[in-house]
A = this chain, B = another copy of it.
Amino acid sequence: MPSYTAPITDSRFILDAVLGLDTLAARGGAFAGATSDVVAAVLEEAGRFAAERLFPLNQSGDREGCTRHEDGSVTTPTGFREAYVAMAAGGWTTLGAPEAVGGQGLPAVVATVVSEYFSAANHSFAMYSGLTEGAVEAILTVGSDAQKSLYVPPMVAGRWTGTMNLTEPQCGTDLGLIRTKADPQVDGSYRISGTKIFISAGEHDLTENIIHLVLARTPGAPAGSKGISLFIVPKFLVEPDGTLGPRNALSCGSLEHKMGIHGNATCVMNYDSAIGWLLGEENRGLAAMFVMMNAARLWVGVQGLAQGEVAYQNAALYATERRQGRALTGPAEPDAVADPLLVHPDVRRMLMEAKALTEGLRALCLWGALQVDLAHHGQSDKEKQDAADLLSLLTPVIKGYGTDQGFHVAVMAQQIFGGHGYIAENGMEQYVRDARIAMIYEGANGVQAMDLVGRKLPAEGGRAIRLFFETITAETGEARAAGGEVAALADALDKANGQLQAATVWMMQHGLARPDNAGAGAYAFMHLTGIVALGLMWLRMARAAAERLAAGGGDTAFLTAKLTTARFFAERLMPRAGALRREIEGGADAVMALPAEAFLPNA
């Protein structure tokens, strides 16, 4: 039987010792509520809810899946509805939302910890409320005051959920190809007609209403992505007093059969002259959707981490319990029939890699989430600007590198189980199947790589990446000055960062001269940036651990493990930076040379 324990010790270490949330709380303002004891209590409760209410529904939800009935209604797996009601009643949907709309106004960085726990415990379940948060964000950012007050409070309260309707059969990444139509009516509303596919949580039985945000074209709109508008299209129309009116002309046409996330209803949605209202400006729908999308991309990165974490936890437990073979150095437990798997260096290698990646990704996701807070609530324009720059740079890295590595960790964790990892009952293969989607949705990871290289890197003359480099150089300098164990980490990070800097210069020169060079190296560049970003996180964690150890405070075993894991990251995972740089510098020639026919069988 698989298990899950929320990694509260590590989350709190990152929040306090690495990100200095306790110091920020002392600032007051938007951080005022995030005092150490409040955060501790929130994480305790969230961890308990995740482990006790959500995790027990994870395997059963996968096995049972969602069911669409003839009338188009959809039933979620047994227990999901009760758990959803309990989640809303517990206030878990309100954490990060502003107090003005019924939220608790906690910083995004705290809400992100909770979303990791919920995703790890039950990826499919957590998607229902997670998508709602993105829809709330979009309405709060571009909606009218009336829209904000009508739709947002019930969504924040967990009484309604939200969705994103982008994809159509003929268009995924290329949203310029959208065909769904929006015809303006005399009363200011629109009639929405078209088919959307892959709509997560498009229909379900968890809440009384669903607020769909739908991309569509108005008559005469410019072709391509500049002619797309965003609409609010509720399942049940909402009366001005907030009560539910008639059923709107939209329905779930079918559910997709998927590799994983069976507990989430992935719907084909049919809009048949459904009533909708423009959200934000006409023809500016893509920009509005990107508000939602950028928040969602950070969250998907967290999902990658989350599936890696739960898979790692189970593999680690298995490795301490399952006995097979003997240590290379002689029997570790001679009286037992065999030693635990953990004695085998290659099992250790996988666990250490999983530990280094999940803890590093946790720090990176939370650092990213903190930039969301600082971009809005920083003390100075510079602090806000820096945070916005870092967030913009880090978002595709957290999404793309984070989900790639989350999947990789899940696959390694499954591997530790041997044949037992392939058997459904043991739960490991579900983590792999569920983790796989995170590399695909909210912009496939190749799209993230192009976002990083094509947009984020050159923006404002490279201001964001320069800030990233300066941050690293400053921190490695401090670490080296402090000496000791962290000085070696600083050297390793500087070396990896040097590879990234060289790759950046190469990209600037050769990508500009020939865009295909940028495209061909984008994916490797994203991974290289990810390694360096994780290296920075490990340097910070190691420095914080060393300081706490020197001060004689804290949990010695935990802090010592941080130092060892940081060293593992530097010695075993950072060397890939050099290979990635060389891969980038390979350029586009061999990548782009073949004619299309050369890829076909027996060409």
Which residues of A does B touch, CB under 8 Å? 5-10, 167, 170-174, 176-177, 197-198, 256-260, 313, 316-317, 319-320, 323-325, 328-329, 337-338, 340, 342, 344-352, 355, 407, 411, 414-415, 418-425, 429, 432-433, 436-437, 439-441, 444-446, 449-450, 515-516, 518-520, 522-523, 557-558, 561, 564-565, 567-568, 571-573, 575-579, 582-583, 586-603
Residue pair A593, B564 in contact (C-beta under 8 Å): yes
Can you list 11 pairs linking A and B with CB atoms under 8 Å apart? A6-B601, A320-B600, A328-B515, A345-B519, A351-B599, A415-B440, A433-B433, A564-B590, A568-B586, A575-B583, A579-B579
* Complex: chain B residue closest to A567, CB-CB: B590
With beta carbons under 8 angstroms apart, the residue of B407, B441, B558, B601 that contacts A7 is B601
Chain B residues near A256: list those with CB within 8 A: 423
* Complex: chain B residue closest to A590, CB-CB: B568
Chain B residues near A5: list those with CB within 8 A: 601-602
Residue pair A557, B597 in contact (C-beta under 8 Å): yes
With beta carbons under 8 angstroms apart, the residue of B260, B325, B446 that contacts A346 is B446
> Which 4 residue pairs of A and B lie closest in terms of their CB atoms, listed nearest first?
A345-B519, A571-B586, A5-B601, A575-B582
Chain B residues near A590: list those with CB within 8 A: 352, 564-565, 567-568, 571-572
* Complex: chain B residue closest to A310, CB-CB: B601
Chain B residues near A174: list those with CB within 8 A: 323-325, 338
Q: How many copies does the complex hold?
A: 2
A565, B259: Cα distance in complex, Å: 32
A350, B436: Cα distance in complex, Å: 17
Residue pair A557, B602 in contact (C-beta under 8 Å): no
Chain B residues near A411: list those with CB within 8 A: 407, 436
Chain B residues near A342: list those with CB within 8 A: 596, 599
Chain B residues near A424: list those with CB within 8 A: 257-259
* Complex: chain B residue closest to A339, CB-CB: B174
* Complex: chain B residue closest to A316, CB-CB: B599
A355, B578: Cα distance in complex, Å: 24
* Complex: chain B residue closest to A261, CB-CB: B422
- A98 CB to closest chain B CB, in angstroms? 32
A443, B161: Cα distance in complex, Å: 47
A346, B586: Cα distance in complex, Å: 14
A561, B573: Cα distance in complex, Å: 33
